[in-house]
Amino acid sequence: MSLHIEAKPGEIAETVLMPGDPLRAKNFAETLLDDAVCFNNIRGMLGYSGFYRGKKVSIMGSGMGIPSLQIYVHELLVEYGVKTIIRVGTCGALRKELRIGDLVLAMSASTDSHINKLRFNGQDYAPTADFGLLLSAYNIAIARGVEVKVGSILSSDTFYHDDETYWKKWADFGALVVEMETAGLYTLAAKFNARALSILTVSDSLVSHESAPSEVREKGYPAMAEIALAASQ
Ligand code: HPA
């Protein structure tokens, strides 16, 4: 048991999928894993372990934003010996060619968060995905006929910005989408010598102001979780 996770040693698999929403973790575990058992309910941050094609896998919520995610990721990596974390989350499109429901593999994550400025005494760090996981998720998506975009993203600390055009600068410098967690995940994975990848589904667009109807969300979310599970094998 760690401070925020009540699992006993051995109850969490070496590979963990992390949606932001704990109820999404429950839904993925119940629909995609065999014999899913809940290992955490502290603060309602549900976590489950079960089996995917015979291999033990866990799925746990991260909450929203880098501070929440890093508490859980730190404890998973340091106290439970987790080796691979795949975030399966949603994001907002920063480019007009990205449509609601599209999948994005985050190769790198810039951030407006100061967490790494604190960690690196004001210097910049480049949070990057694990190449093997990225390649394997890409190949799996292509083999399934699922179109994915691969590139850099923005992890922002703010959902409701005062300046509604804040994202344009990041888009001008190549960011495909914005979400709120990946830079924090990639940084801790590097620190603790683990593998990490974010697979994201576009749920809204900052360009067109569209957002996902529920049926698109239902279709898009299992697709990214299935790619994550297959990539973790
Ligand atoms: N901004 C930040 N995070 C997000 C968004 C967004 O527009 N959509 C989904 N996650």
The pLDDT tens digits for 102-122 are: 999 999 999 999 999 999 999
Protein residue whose Cα sits closest to atom 6 of ligand 1: 92
pLDDT tens digit sequence for 30-55 = 999 999 999 999 999 999 999 999 99
CB–CB of 96/56 below 8 Å?
no
* Structure tokens belonging to residue 156: 């922002």
* 171 vs 155: CA distance, rounded Å: 12
- The answer on pLDDT for 216 being more than 70 is no
Other C-beta atoms lying within 10 Å of the C-beta of residue 167: 21
Spacing, Cα 142 to ligand 1 middle (Å):
25
**Annotated catalytic residue 130:** no
Residues facing 37 on adjacent strands: 49
* 187 vs 137: CA distance, rounded Å: 20
pLDDT tens digit sequence for 5-20 = 999 999 999 999 999 9
- The answer on pLDDT for 218 being more than 90 is no
Percent of the chain with pLDDT over 90: 93
pLDDT band for 214, please (50, 70, 90 cuts): confident
Spacing, Cα 174 to ligand 1 middle (Å):
17
Nearest to 148 by CA among 162, 134, 158: 134
- The answer on pLDDT for 133 being more than 80 is yes
Spacing, Cα 201 to ligand 1 middle (Å):
10
Residue count of the chain = 233
pTM surpassing 0.85? yes
Instruction: Please tell me if the CB atom of residue 75 comes closer than 6 angstroms to any atom of ligand 1.
Output: no
Q: Which atom of ligand 1 is nearest to the CA of 179?
A: 3
Protein residue whose Cα sits closest to atom 7 of ligand 1: 92
